[in-house]
Amino acid sequence: MELGPGEEFDRIRAIARALGNRAADLGDDCAVLPSRPEALCVSTDTMVEDVHFRLDWLSLEEVGGRAVAAALSDLAAEGAVPAGVLANVVVPAGADRSAVPALMRGAGDSAAAAGTRVVGGNLARGDRGWTIAVTVLGWAARPVTRAGAAAGDRLWVTGTLGGSRAALQAWQRGDPPAPEARDAFAHPVPRLAAGRWLAEHGARAMLDVSDGLAGDAAHLAAASGVKLEIELDLVPVHPATIEEASRLGVAVQEFAAAGGEDYELLAAMPDAFGAAESREFERATGLALTRVGRVARGSGVRLTLAGHTRSLAGFDHFR
Amino acid sequence: MELGPGEEFDRIRAIARALGNRAADLGDDCAVLPSRPEALCVSTDTMVEDVHFRLDWLSLEEVGGRAVAAALSDLAAEGAVPAGVLANVVVPAGADRSAVPALMRGAGDSAAAAGTRVVGGNLARGDRGWTIAVTVLGWAARPVTRAGAAAGDRLWVTGTLGGSRAALQAWQRGDPPAPEARDAFAHPVPRLAAGRWLAEHGARAMLDVSDGLAGDAAHLAAASGVKLEIELDLVPVHPATIEEASRLGVAVQEFAAAGGEDYELLAAMPDAFGAAESREFERATGLALTRVGRVARGSGVRLTLAGHTRSLAGFDHFR
């Protein structure tokens, strides 16, 4: 679609050029997508400069990529196939002309890596600081909510936890993070194939642990009306957590379970799902799947380490 | 769905209470909506405090309502039926605990007035200032884009123009706006029924004139590859424009056509659509429909007043 005149549309033209085939036709009032028979899944997520990221930590391209990946992670947790990404960008006064295209290149790369495209968005001027609100659309034949876990189910976690927290802790101390910790924070990968695989193999409830395993487990427990029992000893830890946990003098599994910004999945699977199925998952997705606990009658979350009860808080955006 | 513990979820609980049946079940990773056979239409729009509104002009409830109405206007311009609203709110540090529920009550009222609900959203903390990014979902059997106008079509406008500009001009001068001008700015009504009626009656191209008739006509002209000829003498003006235009010493139609934040529709209808059809529209929607010009071969927009060519700019968010 040809765009009309004006500074705002010049900026949209620059974004369209930066995105190339990582964008659909932009510039109409609405993005229009063909319908599908599955349920429509939608999620939206915001990243605010100096709250969720700092530009001395990440490039604008990484900020855009991370915002889209974080939003897509919610589709992964539903077992959905992504169908499009909308990016709502508030641009600080005085931002360089190349800044928005750089941010959107990162957003487009994240969308393309997930097999989808940027289908729309909005640009607004702000007084200061970047805000990126990303909305993602997807389709799921059988959406997996947080609400289906039942006593007797087993709890499984994809990948490893704590990498982002390790990076954050180094930055906040004033040190450069270990490269693999920085990578975990700057380039999270939404677990879309993993989410779909788990949905197709009977997942009863699922969510991403973006607020930390301990905190998000409490949400799954509340939504499902059950109690979750997690053995911290079993939690798969990111390699970079070892040094950072020892600096705090806490067990590495506690450090990992209380970290936020990990975009791994926590799934409640039926009891019959076991070691053979997890190996099948690992072959299919290239990702580890680790059993970390079980679902019981009751409410809340019980965390244990070496048989002792532990109390951990998750990441809370308003704490 | 039962929500887990924590300050962030306490806030979501407060929003859910404020919204009542104006919200779907909140708290899962994704909003899940049943599919429909029509095309999916999605649009997203942002309102930034002190850029798009000021809290000495509007209450938080009005800010929320206006943000949702503005976003729904893009569905109206596509001829779509709304299916859900997502609100992404960045809350300034120090905001009162009742502030977000008030904002969301306004958002919920706007959604309910349009026959839809709040189906999801996101809360984030910001350093200062409110930002509300609203995403709207809808379904359209035949989405009307900006790109279908052809030479020989006639141009029609719903309602009246210039009311919001009249309010803005009064506020910027330090005066209270006339009540009907304030109402136009604070409580815009997305023209959903009008958009659907026009889509069903052959609209070839349509958009909302949120950036002003003059500016938005240029976008429709560019997208359709045509020239628009608009007779400003015909432009339907909001009553509050008369005083404000005379203060500037400009013709009231020029004042109205250059104003932004009017959420009326500009539609290119086939030549056969005439006075009888516009009366039928007015009976069906209770809204005026006024012919303001025609579509010709060429490019750009030609505005005339009493036979003389005039040059007007629209509202540009980056000018």
User: Mind giving me the DSSP string for B259-312?
Assistant: ------EEEEE-TT--HHHHHHHHHHHSS-EEEEEEEESSSEEEEEETTEEE--
Cβ of A4 within 8 Å of Cβ of B215? The answer is yes
In chain B, the number of structural domains is: 2
Cβ of B29 within 8 Å of Cβ of A207? The answer is yes
pLDDT of residue A170: 96
Give the mean pLDDT of chain A.
Answer: 94
B131 and B245, same domain (yes or no): no
What is the per-residue pLDDT across A292-301, written as a single tens digit (0 to 9) for each?
Answer: 999 999 999 9
A174 and A305, same domain (yes or no): yes
Query: Touching check for A212 and chain B: CB below 8 Å?
Result: no
A248 and A115, same domain (yes or no): no
In a domain, B23, yes or no: yes
Cβ of A42 within 8 Å of Cβ of B222? The answer is no
Within 8 A of A75 by CB-CB distance, chain B residues are 29-30
Range of the domain at A195: 154-310
The CA distance from A21 to the nearest CA of chain B, in Å, is: 19
The CA distance from B85 to the nearest CA of chain A, in Å, is: 10
Domain edge (last residue) among B140, B175, B197:
B140
What is the per-residue pLDDT across B162-176, written as a single tens digit (0 to 9) for each?
Answer: 999 999 999 999 999
A170 and A255, same domain (yes or no): yes
In a domain, B147, yes or no: no
In a domain, A146, yes or no: no
Query: Touching check for A220 and chain B: CB below 8 Å?
Result: yes
Give the predicted TM-score (pTM) of the model.
Answer: 0.94
Domain edge (last residue) among B77, B107, B140:
B140
> Which residue, among A240, A234, A313, A232, has the nearest Cα to A278 in the 3D structure?
A234
pLDDT in single tens digits along all 319 residues of chain B? 788 888 888 888 999 999 999 999 888 889 999 999 999 999 999 999 999 999 999 999 999 999 999 999 999 999 999 999 999 999 998 899 899 999 999 999 999 999 999 999 999 998 779 999 999 999 999 999 999 999 999 999 999 999 999 999 999 999 999 999 999 999 999 999 999 999 999 999 999 999 899 999 999 999 999 999 999 999 999 999 999 999 999 999 999 999 888 999 999 999 999 999 999 999 999 999 999 999 999 999 999 999 999 887 655 555 4
A56 and A114, same domain (yes or no): yes
CATH number at residue B37: 3.30.1330.10
What residues form DSSP beta bridges with B295?
B228
Closest Cβ–Cβ partner in B33, B48, B88 for A44: B88
Query: Touching check for A59 and chain B: CB below 8 Å?
Result: no
A164 and A288, same domain (yes or no): yes
pLDDT of residue B220: 96
8 A C-beta contact, residue B266 and residue B204: no
Pairing of strands B131-140, B39-48: antiparallel
DSSP B185-222: HHS----HHHHHHHHHTT-SEEEE-TT-HHHHHHHHHH
In a domain, B252, yes or no: yes
DSSP B46-63: EEEBTTTB-TTTS-HHHH
Q: Which residues contact B245 (CB under 8 A, 6 or more apart)?
A: B162, B251, B252, B254, B255, B256
Residues 228-287 of A with CB under 8 A from B: none
Within 8 A of A122 by CB-CB distance, chain B residues are 44-46, 133
Mutation for B interface: A7, A29, A49, most B CBs within 10 A: A29
B161 and B292, same domain (yes or no): yes
pLDDT of residue A139: 98
* Eight-class DSSP state of B178: P
Query: Touching check for B304 and chain A: CB below 8 Å?
Result: no
Query: Touching check for B94 and chain A: CB below 8 Å?
Result: no
pLDDT band at A61 (very low <50, low <70, confident <90, very high): very high
Closest Cβ–Cβ partner in A2, A39, A123 for B225: A2
Chain A nearest-CA residue for B148: A1
What residues form DSSP beta bridges with A92?
A126
The CA distance from B252 to the nearest CA of chain A, in Å, is: 24
Within 8 A of B314 by CB-CB distance, chain A residues are 6
Cβ of B6 within 8 Å of Cβ of A33? The answer is no
Residues 119-138 of A with CB under 8 A from B: 119-127, 129, 131, 133, 135, 137-138
CATH number at residue B246: 3.90.650.10
A68 and A186, same domain (yes or no): no
B126 and B81, same domain (yes or no): yes
Look at B126 and A64; give whichever has higher pLDDT: A64
The CA distance from B279 to the nearest CA of chain A, in Å, is: 27
**Mean of the pLDDT values across residues A76-85?**
98
A76 and A177, same domain (yes or no): no
B179 and B129, same domain (yes or no): no
Cα angle: A133, vertex A139, A142; to 5 degrees: 125
Q: At what angle do helices B179-186 and B163-173 cross, to 10 degrees?
A: 110
In a domain, A224, yes or no: yes
Count of other CB atoms within 10 angstroms of residue B175? 11
Does an H or E element contain B86, and which?
A: strand B81-92
8 A C-beta contact, residue B170 and residue B114: no
